[in-house]
Amino acid sequence: MGFLGLEAVHEERLQYEVVSDKARLKLTRLIRIASHSDDNSLHLLRQNRFINIANNVLGRPQYILEPDVMGSYHLTEHAWHLGQIEVIIKRPSTIQLVEILADIIQENLLDINDINQILIEDGTSISFELEDYSNTVKVNVIPIDEIENVPDSEEHPNIRKLIKRMDKALAERDYSAVLHTSASVFETLAKDVVDLATVENQPLGGFFERYRNDSNLPQPVLDYILEIYKKRNTEPLAGHGSTQLPNIQEEEAIMLAEMTKTFVRIERKLALPQVNNE
């Protein structure tokens, strides 16, 4: 039958999944390679196919190519498509990106193994497979209760894994661990937003002002994130061993866990319109 869209269970699992900018760049490079042709018109047609597949998922208008009377395409068409190819993988949310990749695989435009390898190296819980009997693309997303099986990527630790740890700590009433993991989520999110190799091995405090500048979150929210990071370093058993009892209580831990999830969603959603401003 072919791929008809993500199941609701997969959309739910992908709420906190982040595909890093580095992985998205690798996917863009695959598209550049697959689109290339020494025939300029064929090159353009291939680019147009990728762009319109992405536009369908994103709810954007289709771009219909119309040649001139000689059957050629104007130089401006080539320029426009060159620009669009660079953002069709950068623009989507994680859920939209997974659907775009599934459509691209279903149309045999990119090799499924190349895409899976990039996603594995990025430490995501996403993979694709082709069902033998129907040649239909199937999307696999590891459930949150199995996310510990996903290896952390040195380039991009998995936010879903950290959120799962935070929820587990909350269920076990380990409130200092909730604080610790929340701060780790914010640190990972900040590194994804800043996207510089120089901050990868730094603690959040070492590059927070750069994150403040790059983030789309309101300043009061960023102040709150910085407060959580600082509190992790002083709260007994949250950042360091201590003979003192933790001060954080259940109500505060519940609020912290829910606000952490909310801020992850907001940061990711606010980042999308930047690419869409054309």
Q: Does 106 lie in the same domain as 168?
A: no
Nearest to 257 by CA among 144, 162, 166, 164: 166
Q: For the chain, how many structural domains are there in total?
A: 2
* Tokens (6 digits) for 271: 């980042």
Q: Which two tokens stand for residue 136?
A: 């239909």
In the chain, what's the furthest Cα-to-Cα distance? 82
- Has residue 41 been placed in a domain? yes
Domain residue limits at 135: 8-143
Domain membership flag for residue 272: yes
Q: Which helix (H) or strand (E) holds 138?
A: strand 137-141
Q: Are both 21 and 81 inside the same structural domain?
A: yes
In a domain, residue 150? The reply is no
The verdict on 73 and 166 lying in the same domain is no
On whether residue 149 sits in a domain, the answer given is no
Q: Which of 143, 167, 189 is at the close of a domain? A: 143
Is 174 a member of any domain?
yes
Contact between 44 and 78 under an 8 Å Cβ cutoff? The reply is yes
**Judgement on whether residues 106 and 195 belong to the same structural domain of the protein:** no
Domain membership flag for residue 151: no
Say if residue 176 is in the same domain as residue 244. yes
What's the rounded Cα separation, in Å, for the pair 222 and 224? 5
Q: Are 50 and 104 in contact (CB under 8 A)?
A: yes
Give me the pLDDT at residue 155, please: 42
Residues 242 and 187 both lie in one domain: yes
Q: Are residues 114 and 61 in the same domain?
A: yes
Global pTM exceeds 0.95: no
Q: Do 96 and 19 touch, CB atoms closer than 8 A?
A: no
For residues 29 and 131, state if they share a domain.
yes
Tens of each residue's pLDDT in the chain, 278 residues: 778 888 888 888 787 777 888 899 999 999 999 999 999 999 999 999 999 999 999 999 998 888 877 777 888 888 999 999 999 998 888 899 999 999 999 999 999 999 999 998 887 888 999 887 778 899 888 775 554 444 444 444 567 778 888 888 999 888 888 999 999 889 988 888 887 888 888 888 889 999 999 898 889 999 999 998 888 877 754 555 454 556 688 888 899 998 888 888 788 777 655 555 44
> 175 and 268, same structural domain?
yes
181 C-beta neighbours (distance < 10 Å), count: 26
Same domain, 263 and 138: no
Q: Mark which of 143, 167, 190 sits at the end of a domain.
A: 143
- CATH code, domain with 172: 1.20.120
Does 62 fall in a domain? yes
* Domain assignment of residue 181, yes or no: yes
Together in a domain, 139 and 21? yes
Among the candidates 85, 113, 143, a domain finishes at: 143
| Residues 206 and 136 placed together within one structural domain of the fold | no
